[in-house]
Amino acid sequence: METLIHAMKDCPKARAVLAYGGLNNNLLEGCYGRCVDWLEDVARALDKKAFFDFITVLWNIWNSRNNKVFRDVEEEARMTWDRAAGLSREFCIFNFLEKPMIPKPSMEKGWVKPGLGVIKINFDATTMGRKMSFGLVARDHDGFVLGGQADVLEKNVQAEWAEFHALVESLNFARTKNWRKLEFESDCVSLVNRLNKMNVDFSTMGHYIRESIKILDPCVCLNFVWAPRCCNNAADYLCKWATAQNCITDFDVDYPLEIHDIILRDAIN
């Protein structure tokens, strides 16, 4: 399948360039459903400079792939790597000579508490082969857990559809609690964009999103927010935990002990 992870990592041409550049074999052999998960593991293994170079190589792999598809021009792995290395050297020299335009903020991002009277539901999903798992956790303005779910399903779907399924489960969960002010938070950018533009999204998913929202009372106040993965740790961990344990859980205030430290840290911050 022509997925992003295939184009950047699993395609033999891409692997040849990465192997030529000396990327750790463990990072090449891992199995990933989403490209962003692979990039996160690479970022944990490489230092900052090496990761910048790695991104430059990926950009050149993408350009090389486009040249093959649209112009039928094919090049060797060494040529792609040499061009990426040249760009990295030029960028490094420029970066040393010029001051940054915007200073990098030193603060660390964390989960943000919702407004008074608002219930925030964080949700996440992950795919692995013909299975998917999802996790969701609802909290109030003080960070207290009001309930949540985690489950593993026999569904062979792409990442965005898995995230959509987690959204549907979150909507159903909120409906059973009869909450009136809701904020749904996800680290899936594409889905959040669709949610905030659902009235002009005429795709298949856009249709399903509009139909799913109808299960809630029209008087319910809704808000959809994107947050980076570091702000969605509780839901993300529930996904991984459900996958590892192959279990189903539905909880109220007595949430699983496995996410206790995450919940406590989020509430304090």
Residues 6 or more apart whose CB falls under 8 angstroms from that of 229 comprise 40, 187, 236
Residue 105: pLDDT band by 50, 70, 90 thresholds? low
| Tens of pLDDT, residues 10-36 | 888 888 888 876 666 767 877 888 888
Q: Which residue has the higher pLDDT, 77 or 233?
A: 233
The pair phi, psi for residue 128, each rounded to 5°, is -150, 105
Radius of gyration of the chain (CA): 21
Q: Which residue has the higher pLDDT, 201 or 259?
A: 259
Quick check: helix, strand or coil at residue 261? Answer: helix
Q: Which residue has the higher pLDDT, 109 or 66?
A: 66
- pLDDT of 63: 87
DSSP string for residues in 80-146: HHHHHHHHHHHHHHHHHHS--SSPPP-PPP---PPPTTPEEEEEEEEEETTEEEEEEEEE-TT--EE
- pLDDT of 65: 85
Mean pLDDT of the chain: 86
- pLDDT of 108: 60
Rounded mean pLDDT, 209-213: 94
Quick check: helix, strand or coil at residue 148? Answer: strand
| CB 234 within 8 Å of CB 262 | yes
- pLDDT of 72: 86
Q: Which residue has the higher pLDDT, 48 or 168?
A: 168
Write down the pTM of the prediction.
Answer: 0.62
Residue 99: pLDDT band by 50, 70, 90 thresholds? low
11-50 b/e (C-beta count within 10 Å ≥ 16 → b): bebbbbbbebbebeeebeeeeebbbeebbeebeeebeeee
Residue ranges, CATH 3.30.420.10, the chain? 119-268
Structure-token match 């020299």, residue found: 93
Of the options 3.90.1150.10, 3.30.450.20, 3.30.420.10, 3.40.50.80, the CATH number for the domain spanning 119-268:
3.30.420.10
Residue 239 has pLDDT above 60, yes or no: yes
Length of the chain: 269
- pLDDT of 144: 95
Structure-token match 């993408």, residue found: 62
